[in-house]
Amino acid sequence: MKLTADVRTADRQLTQRAASRIPPGVGRMLSAVEETAESSKLWCGAAFVMGAFGGRRGRRSAITGLTALAVAQLVSNGVGKQLVDRPRPPKEWIDHDEVEDRPASSSFPSGHTAAAVAFTAAIAPLWPLAATACAVPAALLAVERVQSGAHYPTDVAAGALIGLAGARLTRHVPQLLRHVLQRPRTVPQLWRSAARSLF
């Protein structure tokens, strides 16, 4: 009970500090990043560039990144927000106008963060340099979601975890399926093999 109360207090304090202490110029820059990432435009654009100019590695990275993004979006927006009906941070906590532009859907988890982290983490093993470039706007986007009053920090953290899980799932499921098809197993053996591959 005390842990829950402490998390709520930290959520409130961090949200209010982010909204009030980030300079207006930085806030505008964060908003520009969010605008670019809206509806996954930024990540689709990055995938296009990688696929068009990165050769075989670029095409593989683009497909893997977009697949992980789709998985993360499905889990965060299609499942998470339907199961957890959490209101957005109160408007009186946010002392700037950006709070008026936030969506009316559940605050938990952050779908923007889930998509950004999933795309970035999925391409990291395939093309580390491209992942490093994507990590910068992904991190800025996570900060913006709190600074704008759209999310609590715990919403962003949950979105990041969903993104990481989506990236891991996307990378390992094809290998697991190939392994299963080459060597048929019983259901318990299949579950144990899947658990080892994913965790």
What secondary structure letter does DSSP report for 149? T
Q: What are the domain boundaries of the chain?
A: 23-170
What secondary structure letter does DSSP report for 98? G
pTM: 0.85
Q: Tens of pLDDT along the chain (199 residues)?
A: 677 888 888 888 888 888 888 888 888 899 899 999 988 999 999 999 999 999 999 999 999 999 999 999 999 999 999 999 999 998 888 877 777 777 888 999 999 999 999 999 999 999 999 999 999 999 999 999 999 888 999 999 999 999 999 999 998 876 666 665 666 555 566 556 655 655 5
Distances in Å between the alpha carbon of 74 and those of 28, 97, 138?
A: 29, 30, 18
User: Using CB atoms within 10 A of its CB, is residue 157 exposed (0-12), middle (13-18) or buried (19+)?
Assistant: middle
Instruction: Report how far Cα 19 is from the mean position of its chain's Cα atoms.
Output: 21
Give, rounded to a whole angstrom, the gap between the first and last alpha carbons of the chain: 30
Token digits for 20? Answer: 């009030």
Give, in degrees to the nearest 5, the angle at Cα 63 between 58 and 64.
Answer: 95
36: amino acid identity, one letter: T
Strand (E) or helix (H) holding 44: helix 41-53
